[in-house]
Amino acid sequence: MSYFDNFLIMRSEVSLLTVILFLLLFDIIAGKKGKKYFQPVAILLFALHTLTNLVPEAAGEAFGGMYQYHPVMTIIKTVLNVATLIIFLQSKHVFDGNEMKDQRGEYYFLTLSTLLGMYLMISSGHFLLFFIGLETASIPLATLIAFSKHCKKSAEAGVKFILLSAFSSGILLFGISYLYGTTGSLYFTEVSMQISHNPLQIMAFIFFLSGLFFKVSFVPFHLWTADVYEGAPTNVTSYLSVVSKGSAAFVLMTLLFKLFGSYLYEWQTLLFWIIIVTITVGNLFALRQQNIKRFLAFSSISQAGYIALGIISGSALGMTTVIYYIFVYIFSNLAAFGVISAIESRTGKTDIPDYKGLYQTNPKLSFVMMLAMFSLAGIAPFAGFMSKFFIFSAAAEQGFYLLVIVAVVNTIISLYYYLRVVKAMFIDPNGQPLPALSTDSWNRASLILCTAAIIFVGLLGFILDMIEKQSFGI
Amino acid sequence: MGELLINNTGVPVLAYQLVSLIMFFAGIYGFFTRRNLMMILISVELILNAADINFAVFNRYLYPGEMEGMFFALFTIAIAACETAVAIAIIINVYRNFGNAEVDNLKKMKG
C-alpha cells in the first residue's frame, strides 16, 4: 500500500479538512463584499462534503492500524454531518445581526474543527489518535462555549467546561498510562488481546471509562452539563447536546465492543447502575427547571441513559438501535433548539413561562416545538417512539428486563415535563404573549427538515435495515 | 520480573510510581480545594504530568525496545499546552467580565 492510499482510506477526514482550510482562507482573504457570501458558501460546501461521503466503502486500515475504517463509521459520520448541517442552517441568522458579525468565520471554523476531532476519535485504532481526536473535539468546543465575549454567563460556562474537560481527560490519560503499563502496547487490537483481570488493569479501565462518561454526561459525571448548556450560545448548546453527545456515545460503544470485549461482565454491571441513575436523576431534575435550555440539558442527560440501553446489550442489534436512536434524537432535539434559537435571537427570552400563549401569535413555531417534545417523550406515531421501542427491545433481548421497566417508568415521568412546555404554549392563558416572529428562510428550511424527519423517519423501515447491515456486536 | 523493575540506576520502578501517584492525587486534591482559577488549572496540569511520568517510566523500564510511551508523552505535553493556552484565554475573559478569577464569583447559573 502506497503512502497515498492511506489518505484515500481516510477520505472523509481529508475532505472535511479541505472544507475547513478553504473556509479559513476565504475568511482571511475575502473583502467586505465577499464576506456577505461567507455563510451560504460555508453551508453549501459542508452540504457537498456530506453528500460526497454518503456511500460506505470496504473496511480497511491506514497508517499501520492507527486509523481503522469500518462501513458503520460512514453511517455515524453521516449522522453527525446531517446534525452539523442543520445547526449551521439554524445559526445563520445569529451571525447576520451586527453584534456577532465579525465572529462568524471563527464559528464555522471551530465547529468543523471539533467535528474533525470526533471523526478521528470514531475511527481511531490507537490510543494516540484517540486522545488527539478527543482533545481536538473538546478544546475548540470550549472556545465556542465562551463565544459571546461580553456575556458573563458564556464566560462562566466556558471556564467550567474547559477546566472540567481537562480534568476528565487527565483522568482518562492516567487510565491509558496504566493500560499501556500492563499491556505494553497502545494499539487497540493488541491491547484487547492482552487484557486480563488484574486489579491494576481494572482500575485503568475505570479511569478510562470515567473520562468518556464525562463526555456523554452520564450521571455521576453530569454536573457540568446544565450550567454549560445554559451559558453557551444557543447554536453551540444544540451542537453540544446533539453532535458532541452522539459522537461520544458512539465512541463509547465501539471502544467497549472492540477494546474491552473481555470485560463484558464488568461494564455491563457498571452500565446497569449508571443507566438507572442517569435516567432517573436526569428526569427528576428536568421536572423543576424554568429555563428552557437548562430543561433540555437535563432532558439530554436522561436521553443519554436511553442511548446506553442500546450499548449495554452488546449485540449488533444494540449498535443498530443506538445509531438509529441518535439519528432520531438529532431531529427532535434540533427542532426544539431551532425554535428556541429563533425566539431567543428576536426577544432574548429563554424561560418556559415566556412561552405561554405562543400558539396565539406563532402557530407554526409552536407546532414544531410540540412535535419535538412529542418525539423526545416517545409518543406513538412519531420517530421518537420507534427509536425508544427498538432500543428497549435490544436491551430486553439480552435479558435486562428490570432495566427496561425502569426506563419505561421514567418515560412516563418524562411525559410530564415535556408536556409542560406544550401546555404552556397551547393551553395557558397569557394576556401578552410573545409577538409574532419571522424566521429567516434558512432556519425555516431546517425546521421543515426536522419536522418531516420526525414524522416520516419512524415510518421508513429501510433506514433501520441500512444501519443493521453494517453493525457489529461483540 | 524482579530484575526488570530495577535498571542500572538502581531506582526501582515503584519509586517513580509513587511520585506519579502523589502528583496525581495532589492534582485531584488541588482541583477540588483551590478557589482561584489559575491554581485549578495548575492542579489539572499536575494530573496530566503524572500520566506523562507513567508513560515515560513504563516505556523505559518495562518495554525498552520501542519508543511508543515516550512519543505518547511528547504528544500529551503538546496537547496539554494547547489546553492550557485556551484555558488561560478563557480565564482572562472571565477576569474581564467578573473583575477577578475566583471560583466563588462564578455563580450566575444555579439549579
- Domain spans of chain A, in order of start: 3-470
Q: What is the pLDDT of residue B9?
A: 67
User: Is B106 or A97 the better-scoring residue by pLDDT?
Assistant: B106
Judged by average pLDDT, the poorest of A328-342, A418-432, B29-43 is A418-432
Percent of residues in chain A assigned helix, strand, coil, to nearest 5: 80, 0, 15
Q: Return the residue in A130, A148, A174 with the most chain B beta carbons within 10 A, the one to mutate for interface testing.
A: A174
Q: Partners of A69 in the beta sheet? A: A60
- What would the DSSP string read from start to end of A79-127? HHHHHHHHHHHHHHHHHHSSTTGGGHHHHHHHHHHHHHHHHHHHHB-BH
Residue A330 has pLDDT above 80, yes or no: yes
Share the mean pLDDT of chain A. Answer: 91
Judged by average pLDDT, the poorest of A26-40, A365-379, A400-414 is A26-40
Mean of pLDDT values over A343-356: 87
Mean of pLDDT values over A270-284: 93
In 3D, which of A335, A179, A164, A339 has the Cα closest to residue A262?
A: A179
Mean of pLDDT values over A309-319: 91
Closest residue, chain B, to A147 (C-alpha): B90
Q: Which residues in chain A touch residue B50, judged by CB atoms under 8 angstroms apart?
A: 174
Share the mean pLDDT of chain B. Answer: 89
- Name the minimum distance, in Å, from the CA of B58 to any CA of chain A: 5
CA A106 to chain centre: 21
- Name the minimum distance, in Å, from the CA of B91 to any CA of chain A: 6
How is residue A426 written as a grid cell? Answer: 397551547
Chain length of chain B: 111
Whether A335 and A454 have beta carbons less than 8 Å apart is answered as yes
3-state SS class at A60: strand
B33-B36-B41 Cα angle (round to 5): 85
Mean of pLDDT values over A237-241: 94
Residue type at A428 in one-letter notation: D
CA distance A8 to A25: 24
How is residue A454 written as a grid cell? Answer: 420526525
Percent of chain A predicted with pLDDT > 90: 68
CA atoms within 13 A on the CB side of A268: 18
Q: What is the pLDDT of residue A167?
A: 94
- Residue contact A289–B111, C-beta within 8 A: yes
> Which among B24, B58, B94 has the least Cβ separation from residue A181?
B58
Task: Render pLDDT for A121-144 as a digit per residue (tens, 0 to 9).
Answer: 999 999 999 999 999 999 999 999
Mean of pLDDT values over A189-193: 91
Percent of chain B predicted with pLDDT > 70: 91
Percent of chain A predicted with pLDDT > 70: 100
Q: Which residues in chain B touch residue A171, judged by CB atoms under 8 angstroms apart?
A: 47
Q: Return the residue in B32, B86, B110 with the most chain A beta carbons within 10 A, the one to mutate for interface testing.
A: B86
B34 at A interface, C-beta within 8 A: no
B22 at A interface, C-beta within 8 A: no
Task: Render pLDDT for A377-396 as a digit per residue (tens, 0 to 9).
Answer: 998 889 999 999 999 999 99
Residue B7 has pLDDT above 90, yes or no: no
Q: What is the pLDDT of residue B4?
A: 52
Q: Which residues in chain A touch residue B41, judged by CB atoms under 8 angstroms apart?
A: 163, 166
Residue A221 has pLDDT above 80, yes or no: yes
Q: Return the residue in B23, B62, B77, B106 with the most chain A beta carbons within 10 A, the one to mutate for interface testing.
A: B106
Q: What is the pLDDT of residue A349?
A: 86
Whether A91 and A38 have beta carbons less than 8 Å apart is answered as no
B30 at A interface, C-beta within 8 A: no
Residues in CB range of A183: below 8 A, 6 or more apart: A190, A191, A194, A195, A201
**ipTM computed for the complex:** 0.93
Largest Cα separation within chain B, whole Å, is: 57
Whether A132 and B75 have beta carbons less than 8 Å apart is answered as yes
3-state SS class at A456: helix
Instruction: Write the CA distances from A164 to A10, B40, B83, integer angstroms.
Output: 31, 10, 12
Task: Render pLDDT for B59-89 as a digit per residue (tens, 0 to 9).
Answer: 999 998 888 999 999 999 999 999 999 999 9
Mean of pLDDT values over A182-187: 91
Mean of pLDDT values over B10-30: 92
Mean of pLDDT values over A49-77: 91
Whether A133 and A211 have beta carbons less than 8 Å apart is answered as no
Whether B4 and B62 have beta carbons less than 8 Å apart is answered as yes
Q: What is the pLDDT of residue B5?
A: 53
Residues in CB range of A451: below 8 A, 6 or more apart: A335, A368, A371
Q: Which residues in chain A touch residue B79, judged by CB atoms under 8 angstroms apart?
A: 131-132, 135
pLDDT confidence band for B1 (50 / 70 / 90): very low
Closest residue, chain A, to B64 (C-alpha): A184
Domains of chain B: 3-100 (1.10.287.3510)
Q: Which residues in chain A touch residue B89, judged by CB atoms under 8 angstroms apart?
A: 143
- Residue contact B69–A180, C-beta within 8 A: yes
Q: Which residues in chain B touch residue A181, judged by CB atoms under 8 angstroms apart?
A: 54, 58, 62
Residue A101 has pLDDT above 80, yes or no: no
- Residue contact A186–B82, C-beta within 8 A: no
List B residues 50-79 in contact with A (Cβ-Cβ < 8 A). 50-51, 54-55, 58, 62-63, 68-69, 71-72, 75-76, 79
Pairing outcome for strands A60-62 and A67-69 = antiparallel
User: Is A24 or B105 the better-scoring residue by pLDDT?
Assistant: A24
Q: What is the pLDDT of residue A462?
A: 87
User: Is A153 or B10 the better-scoring residue by pLDDT?
Assistant: A153
Task: Render pLDDT for A247-260 as a digit per residue (tens, 0 to 9).
Answer: 999 999 999 998 99
- Which phi-psi region, left, alpha or beta, contains residue A217 (left: φ > 0; alpha: ψ -120 to 50)? left
